[in-house]
Amino acid sequence: MDILELESFLPYRLYRLADAVSREFSKVYKDRHGLTRPEWRTLSGLGQRGTMTATALGEQSAMHKTKVSRAVAELERRRWLVRTPDEDDRRVEHLTLTKAGLAAYREMVPLAKAFERELLAKLSVGERGSIARGLAALESGLTSDKNGP
């Protein structure tokens, strides 16, 4: 009889790994600032790009509109970002971190980098290369057929 070995099934392995890593990293921003993942991604996106619209944020960080909307609302409530209406299109808002938001971002960046470094530190150089190539390959394999007919 034909069976499936869950432990070596790629979707499962990927998910489990990502879940473990993400859960571990979430401690960093949760413990430090009580952020949720969508909030962290929003902070990160704005810190990186300077100013973005909600839609752009959603695309960059692969989040559903509603996640973005709620994350932005919360960061605004904390006064970590401000919205400035677009001149030409009144539906659009440009989001920018405030001083406080930027401070939080600046504090998070080294922690994030350290986390990633530690994660990779356990691997050999060859292994690091393997992940880089493997992930890139899978990523491009996926995104290319996202656009259906």
Binding positions for DNA, rule: CB under 7 A: 36-38, 53-56, 64-70, 72-73, 88-93
Nearest to DNA of 25, 120 (CB atom): 25
3 state DSSP class of 27: helix
Nearest to DNA of 65, 106 (CB atom): 65
Residues 69 and 4: their CA atoms lie apart, in Å, by: 40
Residue 57: CB minimum distance to DNA, A: 8
Residue 124 binding: pick among DNA, its own copies, none (C-beta 5-8 Å cut-off by kind) = its own copies
3 state DSSP class of 98: coil
Handedness of CA 21, 27, 33, 39 (dihedral sign): positive
Residues 51 and 81: their CA atoms lie apart, in Å, by: 10
Q: Which of 41, 75, 78 is nearest to 61 (CA)?
A: 41
What is the separation, in whole angstroms, between the first and last Cα of the chain? 38
Residue 93: CB minimum distance to its own copies, A: 20
Residues 92 and 2: their CA atoms lie apart, in Å, by: 54
Cα angle value 122/125/126 (rounded, 5°): 110
Nearest to DNA of 64, 106 (CB atom): 64
Total number of residues that touch its own copies (CB under 8 A): 59
Nearest to DNA of 90, 122 (CB atom): 90
Residue 126: CB minimum distance to DNA, A: 33
Which residues sit at the interface with its own copies, rule CB under 8 A? Answer: 1-7, 9-22, 24-25, 41, 44-45, 47-48, 60-62, 106, 108-110, 112-113, 115-116, 119-120, 122-124, 126-127, 129-135, 137-139, 141-142, 144
